[in-house]
Amino acid sequence: MPVRFPSRKAVRARIVHAFAAILVAMLGTQTAFAQPKGDLVVATSVLSQHFDSTTLVSTADYLVGSMLYDGLINLGPKGMVPGLAESWVISPDGKQIDFKLRKGVTFHNGDPFSAEDVKFTFEKILAPDNTHSYRRGFVDSLERVDVVDPQHARFVLKQPWPAFFTTARYALTYILPKAYFEKVGSKGFQDNPVGTGPFSFDSMKAGEWVKVAANTNYWGTPPKVKTATLRLVAEPFTRYAMMERGEADIAAGLTGALLEKARANPKLKIVVSSFSGTSGILFNKKLFPEADDRRVRLAIAHAINREAISEKILGGVCRPASSIFTPGTFGYLDGLSLIPYDPGKAKELLKEAGIKPGHKITFTLHTQAFAALPGSPQVLEAIAGNLEAVGFVVERQSVDTDAWMSMMRGGKQPGVFYSPSGTPDDGGELINTWFVSTAAWTAKSIQVPEYDRIFKAQQQTGDLDARKKLLNDFARLERKNLEMVPLLWCDTPFVVAARVKKWEPALASGYYMNLGELELAE
C-alpha cells in the first residue's frame, strides 16, 4: 500500500515543538562510549562533493556536510537543537544576537574551535564575490560578527532576523576552521575538508563516492558506526538491487513499485522524513510570454494530473500541493484548495487566451532525482505528457544536476520549468528564492510589487506572530495570482536493511541523515 503521511495537525505540532525546543534544549554528553563498529553503505540518487559551506551550491551539499560539520544550531529527528552554540540571547530590539559557544570543542585536525571561526565563516559568506546560493538573506540581515571572547560571538544585525532560527539555510550554516582554511586555501580544503562534526573526511572518488570515519573525539555523542560510505547510484533499480544483495544498508530516493517491493521484503524496512520537499511549475516569460496571462498558468495547473503522479509514479511518497508552503513550513496557510486535474478546462482556458493546439514550449527534464522531488525524471516526463495532452508541443531539454544548477543560477530557464526546494521550512525564504522581483532562480519573470513588500516586511519584524500573518497574506495573494503552479509536497523515503538499528533521519530533510545516531546489529 502507498506510504501515508502523518496528519497536518501532527506535523504542525512537531514543528511548533521544535521551534519551542530550540530555545531551551541542551545536548547531553556522556563520559564513556563504546568504540564504533561496522561499515555503513548508503546508496543515494544525488551526491554533492562540494565541501565549502560558505559557497553552498544547493541543499544537496548538506548530505555529506551534515556529517563533517556542525552549525551553531543542528538539526535532529525532532527538529533544531543547540549545536556549537550552547545558548543565545536576542536583544529587545532584535538587532543583536549573543551566542555562548561550547568549550573544549576541537576540529578534526586538533585545532580548537572558537568565536574566531564563527566570525570567519560568516564573513566569507558576506564577501562581495561569494557565490553562496542563499547569500542574499545573510547580506540583508547580517551587518557583522564580533568576537567578544573565545566562547562568545555577537551577531550585529541590520534588522531583526527571525528566519535565522526557523530555516536550515541560516541557523545550520557549518562552521569552518579559520586557521586551517587560511593555511591550505580553497583547493586544499576541498581536497581534505575539516570540521567539528561527528564524522571526519576519509576519502572520495570524484563523481562516485565519499567515505567518512567516526570522530571518536566528538563533543556530543560519538557515532556508533566506524565508517560510512555514500555512493552515488543514479539508477533506482540498481539501488534496490544493492539492498537485496546486501551491498548497501540504506537506499535513498526509491519510489513507486520499487518502494512497494521493498515494503514487501521482510529483510527491509521503510523510514521516512516528512515534508522534506516542495515543488512547483514556473515560467520564463521572456521565452514564453503567453504565460503572463493568468489563464495560461491556470490551464497548466488544470493540465497536470498530480493525483496520478503521486500514487502511480511515487507510490504516495508525495501528495498534491495546494501551495509552495507545506504544512511543515513556517507561514503555512491551511484551507487552500487543490487545483483539480481537468484537461477539458485547461483546453478551454488556452482557447480563451488565444493559444491554439500545436503551440511550442520548452520544458526541462532533470535526469537525476532531488530529495525535494523523488523520482523527478519520471515525474517531469509525466508532466510533459500532460502538457502535450492539452495541445502543447513540448520540446524537452534533458539536463543533469550540474547543468540544471548552472541554468537556474544563470537565469537561463526554459519557457516552462520546475522548481524544487529541499528546505521548505520557512515561507519567507521560499518567497526570497522564487517570488521576489530580483530572483535569478525564476529568470526574474515574477514582477509583483506586493510580493517584494511582503518579503521585506516579514524580514524586518521580530514578532513571529506578525511574521506568520504576513506569510499567510502572501499565500492568499499567490493563490489569486498563481505565478507558480503548485506541484507536490514530498516525503523522503529511505529503504533500510534489517541490520540498521535505532535510526531516525532529521526532521523535514532529505539530506540531514543523522547517521551519527545509527547503530548496526552485530
Q: Would you list the domain boundaries of the chain? A: 33-231+499-520, 274-491
Q: Is the pLDDT of residue 16 over 60?
A: no
Look at 384 and 254; give whichever has higher pLDDT.
384
Domain 33-231+499-520 indexed as CATH 3.40.50.1970: no
Confidence of residue 375 (pLDDT cuts 50, 70, 90): confident
* pLDDT at 381 (0 to 100): 97
* pLDDT at 22 (0 to 100): 47
| Cα separation, 54 vs 173, whole angstroms | 8
Look at 182 and 133; give whichever has higher pLDDT.
182
* pLDDT at 32 (0 to 100): 54
Under the phi-then-psi rule, with left for phi > 0, alpha for psi from -120 to 50, and beta for the rest, what region is 492? beta
500, 517 contact by CB (below 8 A): no
422, 276 contact by CB (below 8 A): yes
**Cβ-Cβ contacts under 8 Å for 178 (sequence gap 6 or more):** 116, 117, 119, 120, 121
Q: What is the percentage of the chain residues whose pLDDT exceeds 90?
A: 69
Grid-cell match 503521511, residue found: 5
* pLDDT at 517 (0 to 100): 86
* pLDDT at 279 (0 to 100): 95
Q: Is the pLDDT of residue 425 over 60?
A: yes
Query: Which own/partner pairs from 408-413 qualify as long-range (CB within 8 Å, at least 24 positions apart)?
Result: 408/440, 408/441, 409/133, 409/440, 409/441, 410/440, 411/440, 411/443, 411/444, 412/443, 413/282, 413/284, 413/287, 413/364, 413/442, 413/443
* pLDDT at 165 (0 to 100): 86
* pLDDT at 12 (0 to 100): 47
pLDDT, mean of residues 46-65? 91
Chain centre to alpha carbon of residue 270: 20
Confidence of residue 253 (pLDDT cuts 50, 70, 90): confident
393, 257 contact by CB (below 8 A): no
pLDDT, mean of residues 405-432? 89
Q: Which fold has domain 274-491?
A: Dipeptide-binding Protein; domain 3 (3.10.105)
Q: Is the pLDDT of residue 174 over 50?
A: yes
pLDDT, mean of residues 418-434? 89
* pLDDT at 372 (0 to 100): 82
Q: Is the pLDDT of residue 30 over 60?
A: no
SS3 406: helix
At 255-304, the pLDDT tens digits run 888 999 999 999 999 998 888 899 999 999 999 999 999 999 999 999 99
SS3 211: strand
Mean pLDDT of the chain: 90
Q: What is the percentage of the chain residues whose pLDDT exceeds 70?
A: 93
List phi, psi (to 5°) of 454: -65, -40
* pLDDT at 221 (0 to 100): 92
